[in-house]
Structure 1
Amino acid sequence: MGALTGRTALVTGGSRGIGRSIAERLGRDGARVGVHYGRDEAAAKATVAAIEAAGGEAFAIRAELGVEGDAEALWTAFDAHADGLDILVNNAGITGAREPIGSLPVDEYDRVFAVNAKAPFFITQQGLGRLRDGGRIINISTVMTRGLTKPELIAYSMTKGAIDAFTTHLAVELGPRGITVNAVAPGAVDTDMNAGWLRGHEEALAATAESSPLGRVAEPDDVAGVVAFLASDDSRWVTGQWIDAAGGALL
């Protein structure tokens, strides 16, 4: 039996990148995993198939985030497959346009906040009635809220600052139910989201690897392992925490 056998998990943005690695890891640990996706149905089905091929259970649910009624649509789709929840991973997010404050359009600012901050808030709000006592909420943040700065990602970083505040406040509110709430903060990870500036760019790869004392670029599984710990019983005395999962890049 795995550490999460008998539990149901939902990973938003679970079809690609870090989200897929999290979904697959939770599946390997025994959880039945809801793999949320916004548009890429094929990627979601591939993630479900990978979990099942490894002996796990999973199902895909679609809901576009950042639009009116997104949380309601997500939970309606989820309820068709499960009657309760034990682990919620708020992973889905976008970087949006890479623009500094002087050139970022209002509509782009609003879009990034709608997906990265508003959607997790209301997904969680509407999920609390489904989340069983003793459950886990894990929010994906970024090290850019604690010292690593990129002016062209100011709006993205601000949304993750909101997630950090959301994490600590929610941990206090849900503590009496035995529910822990934590944030995991990766740095640069080799995913499709970062492919444009990382993959195939030797200088960027070298600089990113050198930023960590461990001397390499993070893989999605590195982050998934931290999430798996927070989803397990071993993390029962950890709540309200912001966990640096950037390989020491802030040191």
Structure 2
Amino acid sequence: MSTIALITGGNRGLGRATALALIDAGHEVIYTHRGDPGEKIDAVPLELTVGDIETYDDFADRLRGVLRDRFGREDFDFLVNNAGVGVHATVAETSVEAFDQLLNVHWRGMFFLTQKLLPLIADHGRIVNLSTGLARFTGDGYAAYASMKGAVEVFTRYLAKELAPRGITANVVAPGPSATDFGGGVLRDNEQVRAGLAKVIALGRVGEPEEIAGVITAMLGHDTRWITGQRIEASGGMHL
């Protein structure tokens, strides 16, 4: 029986790279998107706006239908909470609207989506929640964003403890600067920004999405089954 992974925000960026890495590793993939499934891959797209909690019952019903009709199962194995939005603003500049957007997607929505999906995750399954290197070191204009991710890291430890009797692990992967379209693609396209960041990264460069996807895939692998409640940072040694 094939293993099945559900990735939120799998239509672009780190989510898409992770979907492709998991497919290459022989897993089945279901991914969510907010209306644009992206380039067609060998995976099942399901529309979902993470943060719109009122739609979670309907999403869970549609997910059950896919599991039953396509895979002949009632559960799935891996949950990757990847969906996110970026807001760049100082504490003084952060609006209530921007704060609430970050809260609804990165924290409130992720918390209650995970809660909704717990009955559908198979025993001995895995959960990987995405954080950020900015929860360890600071960067200008990311106080609200990094604070939400700090909450995700605490939540993950509690999740790991609560789900341990079911054999389910829960861990955090915290990427450093990565060349995706997140935040308008500045880390992918702006050579001046990339060069500046490279000076504070031990390995001397910005990361690639495939490298973060490789870490996520490894945390879902059989050989990492004894790791739970941990934060794995993939930042190339930023600000060591």
In 2, Cα distance between equivalents of 1:202 and 1:190: 11
Matched with 1:104 is: 94
Conserved? CA contact 2:53–2:112, under 8 Å: no
- 1:195: how far off? 4.3
Q: Which runs of 4+ in 1 moved over 6 A?
A: none
> Is 1:190 aligned to residue 179 of structure 2?
yes
- Verify: 1:126 aligned to 2:116, yes or no: yes
Partner residue in 2 for 1:160: 149
1:115 matched to 2:100? no
The 3-state SS of whatever aligns with 1:74 is helix
Q: Secondary structure of 1:80's match?
A: helix
The residue identity in structure 1 corresponding to 2:113 is I
Post-superposition offset of 1:196 = 4.5
1:36 counterpart (28, 32, 38): 32
Q: Secondary structure at the match of 1:229?
A: helix
Provide the TM-score with structure 1 as the length reference.
0.88
Alignment of 1:140 with 2:136, yes or no, is: no
The 2-side partners of 1:74 and 1:32 are apart by: 18
Partner of 1:244: 233
Give the match's secondary structure for 2:92: coil
CA RMSD in angstroms, aligned pairs only: 1.5
In the TM superposition, 1:1-251 aligns within 5 A as 6-41=2-37, 43=38, 46=39, 49-50=40-41, 52=42, 58-82=43-67, 83-96=74-87, 98-146=88-136, 148-251=137-240
Quote the Cα distance in structure 1 between the aligned partners of 2:25 and 2:48.
25
Q: Note the C-alpha offset of 1:250.
A: 3.1
- Quick check: 1:70–1:119 contact (8 Å CA) kept in 2? no
| Whole-angstrom CA distance in 1 between matches of 2:214 and 2:31 | 17
Gaps (5+ residues) in structure 1? 53-57
> Residue 170 of structure 2 aligns to a residue in which SS?
strand
What is the CA-CA distance between 1:215 and the residue it aligns to? 1.8
Q: Deviations over 1:34-77 (max 9, x none)?
A: 01111323x1xx2xx33x3xxxxx20000112224143233223
**In 2, Cα distance between equivalents of 1:196 and 1:177:** 39
Q: Offset of 1:194 from its aligned partner?
A: 4.0
One-letter identity of the residue aligned with 1:162: A
TM-score normalized by the length of structure 2: 0.92
SS of aligned partner of 1:198: helix
Structure 2 unaligned residues grouped into runs of 5+: 68-73
